[in-house]
Amino acid sequence: MSDPLLAETKLVAALKLTAGPPPAWIEAATLIPSTLGDLDAIERVVDSAAFREQFARDPLDAVTQAGLTPSRPLLTALRDRLDS
């Protein structure tokens, strides 16, 4: 009788020999869910002239006042959206 987990065991052993992902990849991956969740909010706030004016003066305050949690990916997404 063969081991039903033999293929998985071999894969685990092979993966242990490879290098881990770069720290930047790990950081980026942890930010994806929050960024995806903010997409609707981004569309909502960029339509507001008041938000756009406040964002130009103080991005962190504008985001906080809009009820969002400031983060590097969110600020980048907002800047990209407002610049387009």
76 within a domain of the structure (yes/no): yes
Whether the full predicted model's pTM is greater than 0.75, yes or no, is no
Residues 47-59 have pLDDT tens digits of 899 999 999 999 9
Q: How far apart are CA 53 and CA 40, in angstroms?
A: 20
6 within a domain of the structure (yes/no): no
Residues 17-35 have pLDDT tens digits of 999 999 999 888 877 756 6
> What range defines the domain where residue 69 resides?
22-83
- For residue 70, give the nearest of 55, 80, 83, 81 by alpha carbon: 55
- For residue 46, give the nearest of 78, 80, 84 by alpha carbon: 78
Domain count, the chain: 1
